[in-house]
Amino acid sequence: MGRKEQRRADKKEKNAVAELCKVQRKYVPQLFELFEATADPRNPCYITYPNTVMLGQMFFKGIAGIVSMQGMTQAFNDKTISKNLTLLMGCSKMKYLPHHVTENEYLERLDPKEIEKVIHQMVYSLLRRRTFEEARYKKRWLVIVDGTQTYSGSRQINENCLERHYDRGTENEHVNYHLDVLEAKIYLGDGLVCSIASEFIENSESDRDRYHGMSEEQIKQDCELKAFVRLAAKIKKCYPRLPILLLGDSLYACEPVMKICRDHGWDYLLRFKDGRIPSIAEEYQAIPEKIKAGNAEFINGIDYEGYQVNVLRYEDQKEKNGETVTTMFQWITSLQITEKNAEKMAAKGRLRWKIENEGFNRQKNWQGDITHACSFDGNALKNHYLIYQIADFIRQLYEHFWLEKKGIKRTIKNISSALLASFGRQLTGEDISKKRLGKPAFE
């Protein structure tokens, strides 16, 4: 964007944070009330900052794309910024925002389930609005699952870290410690994805006790598939009647995952590679009467472990440097495939990349860095991650329903800079209005 275009964009958007808060109040009006309602882990006699401020500051840290906790304290120490943010939180009597050390001590003690409750109630509120109904496929909500790292390094920052050993048995042997999370995001159309549940992949205290005295070869650490069992149970408990079409990569194309989907009444559309379940791939290849529909071909009713699965293949062709490049995609699904829906189903299957692009990539590289260790405490790290998921989704709503609608084009990093700069501008009474559109959906 050139300087002239930048000035035009700034003129259209008088105050970025005020416009963002208008979008937040429209789609998630109860957000700060939900922050306020979380169970406070502190002694009531020593509370200076209420839950709303403690969690609200972390929310605005994520909104502004601030990576470190020290950077947050330095940025938010400005008198005007502090005043504006406390007004937007509905806590105008606060003259200062908490120091990052105070924040981390609070997050170390706060139960992550409290933030998960905020996320669940936010999702319920969004789905009940029926604004995003067109994102459903065959009356099912697309839920994408995938894992990512939240920390990786040579330092074991806490006891929950997983381990990878390299050059074992040599003088160059070294260990990489990492923390991972399995994320489930619901697709709401137009590139919008919202976290509905997170399951942290870690060595728990019971795991460490069980591994005591075992060799490295005997130890079976936590992994994505183990975490998926816990994640699926969490989703079913929180959203018992939600009709789900599960999307995932080839790791999840296995009998345990398909069984969980059958037990929970979910459908699945999983990326499939021939080596993942050889018997299905062999039977598919052996059947000559494959049904074709445009660039797609499929077979229904392949038997696997006593159940019927359907296989869909799609050939994608693109022109690159004057040559036609062909890429083959393949899925297994519980949905019946027809000539009319084959290509559309393939398009839905490819939405799995949304969790990478609109999810992890923007959170790691474009607007912040979820891999930055804002604390060495395992509990605090979980809370940092969960609050960031809330901030990221509100950012997505702002970018889609305000910037795109107004024709304002900015890179994601420039959006972060504009939001942070707007924190220090004088807000009007209309900007800081705390009028609510109803009470929290759930108490």
- Tell me what pLDDT residue 357 has: 61
- Tell me what pLDDT residue 335 has: 97
- Tell me what pLDDT residue 1 has: 54
- Band (pLDDT 50/70/90 cuts) for residue 416 is confident
- Band (pLDDT 50/70/90 cuts) for residue 10 is low
| Alpha-carbon span 194 to 355, nearest angstrom | 9
Kindly report the CATH class assigned to 140-361: alpha beta
Work out the average pLDDT over 180-192. 92
| Token pair belonging to 53 | 């401020």
| Alpha-carbon span 425 to 15, nearest angstrom | 8
| Alpha-carbon span 348 to 341, nearest angstrom | 10
- Average pLDDT for the chain: 87
| Token pair belonging to 141 | 């909500």
Residue identified by tokens 């060495």 is 376
Phi, psi for 429 (deg, rounded to 5): -60, -35
pLDDT in tens, 258-312: 999 999 999 999 999 888 899 999 999 999 889 999 999 999 999 998 999 999 9
- Band (pLDDT 50/70/90 cuts) for residue 44 is very high
- Tell me what pLDDT residue 337 has: 97
| Alpha-carbon span 300 to 166, nearest angstrom | 44
Work out the average pLDDT over 147-165. 88
pLDDT in tens, 226-261: 999 999 999 999 999 999 999 999 999 999 999 999
- Tell me what pLDDT residue 358 has: 61
Find the length of the chain.
443
Q: 409 with 83: CB under 8 angstroms?
A: no
- Tell me what pLDDT residue 116 has: 97
Whether the model clears a pTM of 0.75, i.e. scores above it, the answer is yes
Measure CA of the first residue to CA of the last residue in the chain; give whole Å: 45
Q: 82 with 98: CB under 8 angstroms?
A: no
SS3 content of the chain, % helix, strand, coil (to 5): 45, 20, 35
Residue ranges per structural domain of the chain: 3-112+374-423, 140-361
Work out the average pLDDT over 171-189. 91
Share of the chain above pLDDT 70, in %: 86
- Tell me what pLDDT residue 435 has: 45
Q: 214 with 138: CB under 8 angstroms?
A: no
- Tell me what pLDDT residue 191 has: 84
- Tell me what pLDDT residue 168 has: 78
| Alpha-carbon span 59 to 52, nearest angstrom | 10
